[in-house]
Structure 1
Amino acid sequence: MNLYSFKKYILSAALLFSAAACDNYLDLTPISEETSSIAYSTANQIEAALTGAYETFQSSDYYVWDQILLEDVRTDNDYAGGDNPEIFAIDLFNITPTNSRVLGWWSSLYNGILKANTVLDRIQDVTDPKLTDERRQQIKGEALFLRALHYYNLAKNWGGVPLVLESTTTTDPGKIQLPRATEAEVYAQILKDLDEAAKLLPDTYGRDATVNKARATAGAAYALAAKACAQEPAHNYAKALEYIAKVEASTANYRLLDSYADLFDGNHYNNAESILEVQYTGGSEGNWAPQMMLPPSLSGDTWRKFVVPSHNLIDAYDAEGDVVRKNASVIFEKVTDWVDEYWGNAKGSSIPFAYKMKNAMGWASTDRLYILRYGDIVLLKAEALNETGDLTDAAAEVNKIRARVNLAPLTAAQTATKDALRTAILNERRLELAQEGQRWDDLKRHNLVVSTMNNLQEIDLRTGQPTQYNVTEAKTLLPIPQQELDRNPQLVQNPL
Structure 2
Amino acid sequence: MKKKNILLYTLGLSLSLGLYSCDNFLDLEPISMITIDNAYVTGSQLEAALTGTYESFQSSDYYVWDHVLFQDVRSDNHYAGGDNPEIFQIDALNINPTNGRVFNAWSNIYNAIAKANLVLERAPAITDPALTEQRRAQIMGEAAFLRAYHYYNLVKLWGGVPLVLETVKSADPAVVRVPRATEQEVYAQIIADLEFALDNRLPDTYGSDASVNKARATKGAANALLATVYAQMPTPNYNKVLEHANAVINSSAGYRLLENYDHLYDGNHYNNDESIMEVQYLGSNEGNWGPQMHLPPSLSGDTWRKFTTPSHDLVNAFDAEGDEIRKNATMVFEAVPWADEYWSNQTGSQVPFAYKWRNASGWASADRPYIFRLADIILLKAEALNELNRPTEAAQEVNRVRSRVSLEDVPQTTAASQTQMRTVILKERRLELAQEGRRWDDLVRYGVAREVMNNLNETDLRTGQRVNYNVTDADLLLPIPQQEINRNPTLEQNPL
| TM-score (norm: length of structure 2) | 0.93
Indicate the residue corresponding to 2:124 in structure 1.
Answer: 124
How far apart, in 2, do the equivalents of 1:284 and 1:22 lie? 31
The answer (yes or no) to whether the contact 2:249–2:378 under 8 Å persists in 1 is no
Contact in 1 for aligned 2:18/2:111 (Cα 8 Å): no
Pairing 1:466-481 to 2, within 5 Å after superposition: 466-481=466-481
Residue 151 of structure 1 aligns with an amino acid whose one-letter code is: Y
Moved over 4 A (4+): 27-31
The match for 1:352 is 352
Q: Hey, what's the Cα distance between the residues in 1 that align with 2:490 and 2:448?
A: 31
Match of residue 302 from structure 2:
301
Native 8 Å contact 1:26 1:177 kept in 2? no
User: Is it true that 1:59 corresponds to 2:49 in the alignment?
Assistant: no
User: Does residue 192 in structure 1 map to residue 182 in structure 2?
Assistant: no
Instruction: Check the 8 A contact 1:28/1:171 in 2, yes or no.
Output: no
Determine whether 1:268 maps to 2:269: yes
In structure 1, distance between residues paired with 2:194 and 2:226: 6
Amino-acid identity (%): 62
Q: Give the partner amino acid of 2:65.
A: W
Query: Deviation of residue 35 (structure 1)?
Result: 2.5
**Aligned residue identity for 1:60:** S
Map of 1:12 onto structure 2: none
Q: Secondary structure at the match of 2:339?
A: coil
Q: State the 1:29 CA deviation.
A: 9.1
2:15 counterpart residue number: 25
- The answer (yes or no) to whether the contact 2:386–2:394 under 8 Å persists in 1 is yes
> Which runs of structure 2 are paired with 1:323-342 in the superposition (5 Å)?
323-335=324-336, 337-342=337-342
Output the CA distance in 1 between the equivalents of 2:390 and 2:458: 36
User: Which secondary structure does the structure 2 equivalent of 1:55 belong to?
Assistant: helix
Alpha-carbon distance, 1:412 to partner = 3.0
Give the direction of change, closer, same or farther, for the CA distance of 1:23–1:86 in structure 2 (3 Å limit).
farther
Relative distance call for 1:477 and 1:41 in structure 2 (3 A) is same
For residues 278-317 of structure 1, the aligned pairs below 5 Å read 278-317=279-318
**Is residue 12–residue 487 contact of structure 2 (8 Å, CA) maintained in 1?**
no
> What is the CA-CA distance between 1:491 and the residue it aligns to?
2.9
Q: Matches of 1:412 and 1:437 in 2, distance apart?
A: 31
In 1: Cα distance, 2:142 partner to 2:456 partner: 41
Secondary structure of the structure 1 residue equivalent to 2:277: strand
> In structure 1, what is the Cα distance between the partners aligned to 2:415 and 2:246?
23
Q: Paired residue for 2:105?
A: 105
Asked whether the 8 Å contact 1:295–1:353 carries over to 2, the reply is yes
Q: How does 1:327-476 map to 2 (within 5 A)?
A: 327-335=328-336, 337-476=337-476
In structure 2, relative to structure 1, the CA distance for the partners of 1:152 and 1:29 (3 Å cut) is closer
Aligned pair in 2 of structure 1 residues 317, 39: CA closer, same or farther (>3 Å)?
A: same
Deviation at 1:178, TM superposition (A): 0.9
Residues 69 and 87, structure 1, Cα contact 8 Å, conserved in 2: yes
Q: Give the Å deviation of 1:488.
A: 2.7
Name stretches of at least 5 consecutive residues in structure 1 with no aligned partner. Answer: 1-20
- Give the Cα–Cα distance (whole angstroms) in 1 for the partners of residues 455 and 416 of structure 2: 25
Q: Could you give the per-residue CA deviations for residues 6-28 of structure 1, whole angstroms, max 9, x where no partner exists?
A: xxxxxxxxxxxxxxx99721467
Corresponding pairs, count: 473
> What's the CA shift string for 1:45-65, capped at 9, x where partnerless?
111100110010000000000
Unaligned runs of 5+ in 2: 1-10, 22-33
Q: In structure 1, what is the equivalent of residue 27 of structure 2?
A: none
What SS does the aligned partner of 2:50 have? helix
Q: Please show how residues 60-75 of structure 1 align to structure 2 within 5 Å.
A: 60-75=60-75
CA distance, structure 2, for counterparts of residue 90 and residue 413 of structure 1: 39
- The question of whether the paired residues in 1 share the 8 Å contact of 2:295 and 2:354 is answered with yes
- Counterpart in 1 of 2:172? 172
Q: How many angstroms does 1:248 deviate by?
A: 2.2
The answer as to 2:70 corresponding to 1:47 is no
RMSD across aligned positions (CA): 1.5
